[in-house]
Amino acid sequence: MTMAEQDDRTAANAGTDRVVLRALADGRAQVRLRAAMAVGTDPDAGYVGTLVARCAVEPEFSVREMLTWALTRHPPAATVPPLLEEVRSGGPQARSQALHTLSKVADPRGWEVITPELLADPDDEVARSAWRAAVVLVPEAARSALASSLATQLGRGGLATRLSLSRALIALGEAGAPVLRAAAGDREPRVRTHALATERLARDPDAGFEFAIEEAKRVVALGTSAPED
Domain of residue 26, residue span = 18-137
- pLDDT value at residue 15: 42
Residues 132 and 150 in one domain: no
Residue 129 lies in a domain: yes
Residue 4 has pLDDT above 60, yes or no: no
Residue 89 lies in a domain: yes
Residue 8 lies in a domain: no
Residue 76 lies in a domain: yes
CA distance 13 to 11: 5
Of 113, 137, 161, the one marking the end of a domain is 137
Residue 118 lies in a domain: yes
Number of domains in the chain: 2
Residues 168 and 115 in one domain: no
Residues 98 and 163 in one domain: no
Residue 1 lies in a domain: no
Residues 72 and 110 in one domain: yes
- pLDDT value at residue 226: 53
Residues 115 and 37 in one domain: yes
Q: Identify the burial level of 5 via C-beta atoms within 10 angstroms of its C-beta, where 0-12 means exposed, 13-18 middle and 19 or more buried.
A: exposed
CATH code: domain of residue 129: 1.25.10.10
Mean pLDDT of the chain: 90
Residues 125 and 178 in one domain: no
- pLDDT value at residue 12: 34
For residues 113-138, give the mean pLDDT.
98
Contact of 183 with 194, CB cutoff 8 Å: yes
Q: Tell me the whole-structure pTM to 2 decimals.
A: 0.86
- The string of DSSP letters for 4-47 reads HHHHHHHHHHHHHHHHHHHHHT-SSHHHHHHHHHHHHHS--GGG
pLDDT tens, 75-98? 999 999 999 999 999 999 999 999
Residues 123 and 105 in one domain: yes
Residues 177 and 128 in one domain: no
Residues 218 and 110 in one domain: no
pLDDT tens, 149-158? 999 999 999 9
For residues 201-215, give the mean pLDDT.
87
Residue 3 lies in a domain: no
Closest CA to 91 of 80, 102, 99: 99
Residue 13 lies in a domain: no
Of 76, 108, 137, the one marking the end of a domain is 137
Residues 75 and 177 in one domain: no
What is the 3-state composition of the chain as percent helix, strand, coil, each rounded to the nearest 5? Answer: 75, 0, 25
